[in-house]
């Protein structure tokens, strides 16, 4: 295939025979159609580059993204790149047909990563807990699988009941196309905006709660319900708990993101089931999945249904201290009534610290002030009751009960091979029941708390509470009182609330620190705070009143203190949170797909390997198509003997040859002669470039020192292409390809080659200018220094710049026409005035002088005021 330069060479050597007059109208129409295709190709090319940079930004940045982002970007990109291939095929039918094959191969690879991995769940719709084995984790969720397995082996009463499995969930979601509708709504919402997320969450949950449960699933649940033993002459009330797949994936706790329905009457079980399923789309759960890169489609909501235990006391055991895992400590959190008040952070629970060795037993205790408790309502649901004043400060467990729980905890950890988080309940008969069992995430502080720190001189606002998540954070105080307050929560604020409610977890990825009056290390909010590395202090009495008007504060959660203002010495010690997306399923999907999208392998259009079959990524295809489209537009007028659309020499007094090819409406008048007049040019981008080119006369080559001159002489001898006396198709000729809103300039000035392409129209979203610059006569070092020099100037004026060896590529886009014109004037100016600057690039003083002069002239050119004197 001839290279672009070869084509130009042939074009300018061959004389143009006169066109047959009767064909001119047909050619004009054909040319217009081609130019429209070309414009569409440029637009699609721009769109493709934009999507690619979004993908790169997502992979390199800290902002979370979900599978909707991955799928929508890959889909848009594939459709756009396919359109580019088709536009090129219409410009040159069949000439690059190999591109379609390359595209298909790349598409298949991207598809393999993005589409083909949706899970399918097979098995019974309902499974009795007694039949659940550890290998059923993918069918019933890890939580239920662990629970059934563990209770049996530790001698705790084996929970009765059953699980509506992942297959049951799939059956429900497939019925009446519920999942399709959910996916559609997910795609239509920017889930990174909290207000949109709240609305979407409410919508999706309503959609699920109102959806019909398929008959086969209802029948399976009814049959399982019938097998449960009656209690006191009536069917048992049920605890309906989430046990989602992916809930306990490595490194994620998912603590409390889903709903449980407690003390549910059997006749309302299906409704409760739907509510637990709907909680998959709770705000906190969706935000959590987004932040951790978990795929929505991987989360099947299995639901455990077990007879309700009306507890005297209940709580949570951590088989290790998550903040100090090396210590021999088992932490038992306990409160009166159901364990809900502990896990929801509604009370400051009793904390019993037990040891493992030599035998499990109590070593220390902090008794909380337990004002409230939850109990089963006689009919259905829970009652929130005031605790009898005499009981509030009384331990909720006896010593033998503590020791029993400690033994259970030590055995659970040994059995499961790692630290565990156990939810338990003590019934009226004094039996202990395990309700949940999941891996415990450990978060040892990165900073040694015993290390000597400088005394803090900032005013101490509060002291007390318990470290729920270590570290220090600072920001303005934001007090949360109602749900609606969450919408206004600013990024970087300190979250202050009376209760440590699980729903505040949706704000943790933007909170600097957390302070609550109630709650403990064992609550859901505390778990998520540790996971996200957000310092959290809980159980701080009077925090809301003391901090409401405090402005900016520093929370030292490790030392349980809150100071006024920002205390830099504490913040410096804050461990840096890792990117929670890295390595996640969503991140990996995009990373793998991006290998067929982003890398650019086809760099040199003149290389023999610049061919369709060597396109290995979508970026290669766009690069190839763009290059060839420009080439095809150039060659049309020539090949079709269409002098009106052949290039004309620009009539100008600038001592260089400038040629113009009018693509559509770039010249006000069409004439068949060999010259174009500058006053006929109406191309907005070309005129702006021209203004920059001609604004200041070029003072000629800079004075060169001996080294510079030797270098140029050596290069000129070694590289015949740089020898001005050698006949070259490109030497000293510069080509504009124009329409009213478009301009492409290929320019060879001196020993460097540069190109500008720009679109400046009424659609700011489509406007862009690109600038490529390469070469020079000096040695490689100086050429590199020159592109760095030019790159810095362009960056100062809003261009994004990339440099590889002595090649520079710069781009500016989406600006209004006036800004685009300024940018093009700057490019025009630089094309002329950086000529031969490579030769002075070793002399700092000269470089500084040129920089100053160039900056000064650019400011005059674009009408900017000089910077204030230092």
Binding site for other proteins (CB under 8 A): 22, 25-26, 29-30, 32-33, 36-37, 40, 43, 68, 71-72, 74-76, 78-79, 82-83, 86, 107, 110-111, 114-115, 180, 183-184, 187-188, 763, 765-766
Distance, in Å, from the CA atom of 749 to the CA atom of 746, rounded to the nearest integer, reads: 10
Least distance from C-beta 620 to other proteins, angstroms?
A: 17
Least distance from C-beta 285 to other proteins, angstroms?
A: 21
Q: CB-wise, 525 or 625, nearer to other proteins?
A: 625
Residue 310 · residue 236 · CB < 8 Å: no
Q: CB-wise, 113 or 274, nearer to other proteins?
A: 113
Q: CB-wise, 25 or 699, nearer to other proteins?
A: 25
Q: CB-wise, 90 or 427, nearer to other proteins?
A: 90
Beta bridge partners of 244: 301
Can the peptide bond before residue 358 be classed as cis, meaning omega within 30 degrees of 0?
yes
Chain position carrying tokens 């507890």:
311
Beta bridge partners of 361: 355
Q: CB-wise, 51 or 477, nearer to other proteins?
A: 51
Q: CB-wise, 71 or 774, nearer to other proteins?
A: 71
Least distance from C-beta 766 to other proteins, angstroms?
A: 8
Beta bridge partners of 802: 809
Q: CB-wise, 40 or 731, nearer to other proteins?
A: 40
Distance, in Å, from the CA atom of 335 to the CA atom of 222, rounded to the nearest integer, reads: 34
Least distance from C-beta 762 to other proteins, angstroms?
A: 10
Helix or strand (DSSP H, E) at 524: helix 524-532
Residue 52 · residue 77 · CB < 8 Å: yes
Distance, in Å, from the CA atom of 634 to the CA atom of 91, rounded to the nearest integer, reads: 11
Beta bridge partners of 796: none
Residue 829 · residue 692 · CB < 8 Å: yes
Least distance from C-beta 763 to other proteins, angstroms?
A: 6
Helix or strand (DSSP H, E) at 243: strand 238-244
Maximal C-alpha separation, the chain = 109
Secondary structure of 701-745 in HEC code, one letter for each residue: CCCCCHHHHHHHHHHHHHCHHHCCCCCCCCCCEEEEEECCCEEEE
- Give the strand pairing for 675-677 and 657-662: unpaired
Q: CB-wise, 35 or 690, nearer to other proteins?
A: 35
Least distance from C-beta 26 to other proteins, angstroms?
A: 6
Beta bridge partners of 318: 331, 421
Least distance from C-beta 799 to other proteins, angstroms?
A: 25
Least distance from C-beta 45 to other proteins, angstroms?
A: 14
Least distance from C-beta 528 to other proteins, angstroms?
A: 30
Least distance from C-beta 118 to other proteins, angstroms?
A: 12
Distance, in Å, from the CA atom of 528 to the CA atom of 536, rounded to the nearest integer, reads: 10
Least distance from C-beta 97 to other proteins, angstroms?
A: 14
Residue 465 · residue 537 · CB < 8 Å: yes
Q: CB-wise, 104 or 153, nearer to other proteins?
A: 104
Q: Which two tokens stand for residue 571?
A: 């913040």
Least distance from C-beta 282 to other proteins, angstroms?
A: 22
617 burial class (0-12, 13-18, 19+ CB within 10 angstroms)? Answer: buried
Chain position carrying tokens 């009495």:
541
Half-sphere exposure of 302 (CA within 13 A, CB side): 33
Least distance from C-beta 76 to other proteins, angstroms?
A: 6
For every residue of 123-136, DSSP letters joined together read S-SEEEGGG--GGG
Residue 473 · residue 571 · CB < 8 Å: yes
For the chain, helix (H) and strand (E) counts, in that order, are: 25, 30
Q: CB-wise, 43 or 533, nearer to other proteins?
A: 43
Q: Which two tokens stand for residue 154?
A: 């530790």
Closest C-alpha among 8, 18, 5, 49 to residue 617: 49
Q: Which two tokens stand for residue 636?
A: 């049309």
Least distance from C-beta 744 to other proteins, angstroms?
A: 20
Chain position carrying tokens 């020791």:
403
Q: CB-wise, 107 or 485, nearer to other proteins?
A: 107
Q: CB-wise, 644 or 766, nearer to other proteins?
A: 766
- Give the strand pairing for 552-556 and 561-564: antiparallel
Least distance from C-beta 194 to other proteins, angstroms?
A: 18
Closest C-alpha among 56, 59, 57, 62 to residue 510: 62
Q: CB-wise, 110 or 630, nearer to other proteins?
A: 110
575 burial class (0-12, 13-18, 19+ CB within 10 angstroms)? Answer: middle
Distance, in Å, from the CA atom of 257 to the CA atom of 285, rounded to the nearest integer, reads: 5
Least distance from C-beta 29 to other proteins, angstroms?
A: 5
Q: CB-wise, 41 or 330, nearer to other proteins?
A: 41
Q: CB-wise, 74 or 286, nearer to other proteins?
A: 74
Q: CB-wise, 118 or 653, nearer to other proteins?
A: 118
First to last CA, the chain: 57
């Amino acid at each position: 295939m001839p290279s672009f330069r070869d084509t130009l060479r042939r074009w300018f050597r061959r004389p143009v025979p006169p066109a047959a007059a009767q064909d001119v109208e047909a050619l004009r129409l054909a040319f217009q159609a081609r130019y429209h295709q070309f414009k569409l190709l440029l637009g699609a090319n721009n769109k493709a580059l934009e999507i690619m940079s979004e993908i790169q930004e997502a992979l390199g940045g800290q902002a979370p993204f979900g599978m909707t982002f991955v799928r929508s970007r890959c889909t848009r990109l594939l459709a756009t790149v396919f359109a580019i291939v088709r536009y090129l095929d219409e410009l040159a039918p069949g000439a690059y047909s190999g591109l379609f094959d390359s595209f298909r191969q790349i598409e298949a690879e991207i598809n393999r990563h993005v589409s083909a991995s949706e899970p399918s769940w097979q098995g019974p719709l309902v499974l009795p807990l007694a039949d659940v084995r550890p290998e059923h984790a993918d069918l019933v969720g890890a939580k239920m699988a662990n629970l059934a397995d563990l209770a049996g082996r530790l001698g705790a009463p084996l929970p009765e009941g059953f699980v509506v499995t992942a297959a049951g969930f799939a059956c429900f979601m497939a019925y009446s196309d519920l999942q399709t509708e959910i996916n559609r709504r997910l795609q239509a919402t920017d889930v990174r905006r909290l207000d949109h997320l709240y609305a979407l969450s409410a919508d999706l949950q309503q959609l699920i709660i109102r959806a019909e449960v398929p008959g086969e699933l209802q029948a399976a649940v009814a049959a399982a319900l019938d097998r449960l033993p009656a209690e006191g002459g009536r069917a048992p009330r049920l605890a309906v708990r989430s046990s989602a797949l992916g809930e306990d994936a490595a490194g994620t706790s998912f603590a409390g993101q889903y709903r449980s329905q407690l003390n549910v009457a059997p006749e309302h079980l299906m409704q409760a089931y739907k509510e637990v399923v709907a909680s998959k789309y709770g705000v906190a759960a969706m935000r959590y999945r987004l932040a951790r890169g978990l795929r929505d489609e991987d989360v099947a909501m299995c639901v455990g249904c077990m007879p309700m235990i009306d507890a005297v006391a209940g709580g949570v055991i951590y088989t290790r201290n998550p903040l100090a895992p090396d210590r021999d400590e088992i932490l038992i959190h306990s409160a009166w009534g159901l364990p809900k008040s502990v896990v929801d952070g509604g009370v400051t629970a009793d904390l019993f610290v037990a040891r493992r060795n030599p035998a499990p037993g109590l070593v220390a205790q902090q008794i909380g002030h337990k004002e409230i408790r939850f109990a089963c309502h006689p009919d259905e649901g829970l009652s929130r009751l005031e605790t009898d004043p005499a009981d509030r400060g009384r331990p909720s467990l006896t010593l033998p009960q503590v020791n029993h729980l400690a033994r259970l905890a030590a055995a659970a950890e040994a059995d499961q091979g790692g630290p565990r988080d156990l939810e338990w309940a003590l019934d009226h008969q004094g039996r202990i029941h395990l309700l949940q069992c999941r891996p415990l995430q450990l978060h040892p502080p990165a900073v040694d708390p015993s290390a000597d720190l400088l005394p803090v001189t900032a005013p101490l606002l509060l002291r007390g509470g318990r470290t729920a998540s270590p570290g220090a954070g600072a920001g303005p105080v934001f007090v949360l009182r109602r749900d609606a307050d969450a919408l206004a929560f600013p990024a970087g604020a300190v979250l202050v609330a009376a209760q440590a409610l699980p729903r505040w977890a949706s704000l943790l990825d933007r909170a600097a620190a957390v302070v609550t009056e109630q709650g403990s290390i064992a609550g859901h909010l505390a778990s998520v705070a540790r996971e996200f590395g957000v310092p959290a202090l809980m159980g701080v009495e009077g925090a809301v009143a003391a901090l409401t008007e405090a402005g900016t504060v520093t929370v030292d959660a490790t030392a349980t203190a809150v100071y006024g203002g920002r205390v830099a010495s504490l913040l410096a010690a804050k461990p840096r949170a890792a990117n929670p997306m890295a390595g996640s399923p969503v991140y990996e999907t995009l990373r793998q797909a991006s290998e067929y999208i982003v890398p650019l392998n086809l760099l040199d259009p003149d290389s023999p390997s610049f061919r369709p079959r060597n396109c290995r990524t979508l970026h290669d295809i766009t690069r190839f198509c763009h290059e060839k489209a420009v080439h095809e537009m150039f060659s049309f007028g020539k090949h079709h003997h269409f002098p009106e659309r052949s290039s004309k020499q620009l009539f100008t007094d600038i001592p260089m040859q400038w040629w113009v090819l009018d693509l559509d409406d770039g010249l006000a008048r069409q004439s068949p002669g060999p010259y174009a007049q500058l006053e006929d040019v109406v191309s907005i981008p070309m005129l702006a470039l021209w203004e920059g080119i001609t604004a200041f006369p070029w003072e000629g080559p800079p004075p060169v020192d001996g080294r510079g001159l030797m270098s140029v002489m050596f290069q000129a001898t070694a590289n015949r292409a740089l020898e001005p006396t050698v006949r070259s198709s490109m030497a000293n000729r510069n080509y504009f390809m124009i329409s009213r809103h478009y301009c492409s300039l290929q320019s060879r000035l001196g020993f460097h080659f540069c190109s500008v392409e720009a679109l400046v129209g009424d659609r700011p979203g489509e406007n862009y200018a690109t600038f490529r610059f390469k070469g020079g006569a000096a040695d490689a070092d100086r050429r590199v220094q020159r592109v760095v020099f030019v790159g810095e100037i362009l960056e100062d004026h809003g261009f994004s710049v990339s440099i590889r060896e002595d090649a520079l590529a710069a781009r500016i886009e989406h600006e209004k026409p006036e800004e685009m014109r300024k940018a093009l004037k700057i490019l025009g100016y630089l094309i002329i005035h950086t000529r031969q600057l490579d030769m002075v690039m070793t002399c700092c003083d000269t470089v500084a002088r040129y920089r100053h002069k160039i900056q000064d002239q650019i400011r005059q050119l674009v009408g900017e005021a000089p910077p204030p004197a230092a």
